[in-house]
Amino acid sequence: MNLWLLLNSGRCDAAFNMALDEALLEAMPRLQKPVLRFYGWTEPAATFGYFQKYAEVAATTKLRPLLRRPTGGGIVPHDADWTYSAVFPPGHEWHLLKAEESYRRIHDWLRLAFAELKVETELAPCCKKTLPGQCFVGYEKFDLLWRGKKIAGAAQRRNKLGLLIQGSVQPPPVPVRREDFETAMCGVAEKNFGVRWREFSPETGWRRDVEKLAAEKYSSSAYNQKR
C-alpha cells in the first residue's frame, strides 16, 4: 500500500509554521512515509529563501514578521495565500527526482486539483521575471498559471534526510473554497499516485520540540538576519 500521512495543522504563527516543516523533514528517516501538510497563518507574514540577503528582502516587503525559510526560492507573502508542504523520506521516488522534475510534478498535481474544481490552469512553459527574488512577480518555468498570471510557486530542500517542498497558492478570483481544493489535492493523489491516506499522529513531545525550534531558531533575528 502506498500510504501517505495527512496533517492539517490549521492556522499557526509564522515561526511555528517554519519550524514544523523543518521538523517534518528531520523526521523523514524515522517516519519513512510522505507527509502532506496544509496550514495557514495567524497573522500576515512573509518568508524568504534560505540563501537570500535579509536587508534586500526587508526593503522589498512591508509584511512582518519576516522569516527565513528552510528552503530556497524568493519572497512569498502570506497574507491571503493557501500554504502546504509535501515531505518525502530518503530514497522515495520524489526524493530521487531532479529539482526541476519535482517542481514540475508538484505543480502538475495542483493543476489537476484545480481541474477537478473546473478551474483551468497551466504550467508555465518558460520564464517571465520582472523583479528578481520575488516569488509572485513574473514566473519561472513550471510555475502554475491562471490566465497567464502566476498563482502557485514552491521552494525545495533536498538532502540526506529527504525532500521538503513548501508551496504557496495565491487563489484565483473564482468561487473555489480552500477546503474543496485540499480535498481535490488528496483525491488527485489517490487517483494518480495510488496514495492511501492516514492522519498524521505526532509522537509524544512533538509539539514541544517544534515550539522549541520555533523559539530558538525561526523567532531569532540572528537566524533570520544571518546574511
How distant, in Å, are the alpha carbons of 15, 59, 79, 137, 172 from that of 178? 23, 31, 14, 23, 11
- Complete edge-to-edge strand list for the sheet that includes strand 76-78: 66-68, 45-48, 76-78
C-beta of residue 164 within 8 angstroms of C-beta of residue 25: yes
53 φ, ψ (degrees, to nearest 5) = -90, 130
Output 140-147 pairs: Cβ under 8 A, ≥24 positions apart: 141/100, 142/100, 142/103, 142/104, 142/107, 143/107, 144/107, 144/110, 144/111, 144/114, 144/169, 145/121, 146/114, 146/119, 146/120, 146/121, 146/172, 147/172
Q: Which of 12, 126, 127, 135 is catalytic?
A: 135
Look up residue 71 and give its DSSP letter.
S
Reply yes or no on whether 126 is catalytic. Answer: no
Q: Which residues are catalytic?
A: 135
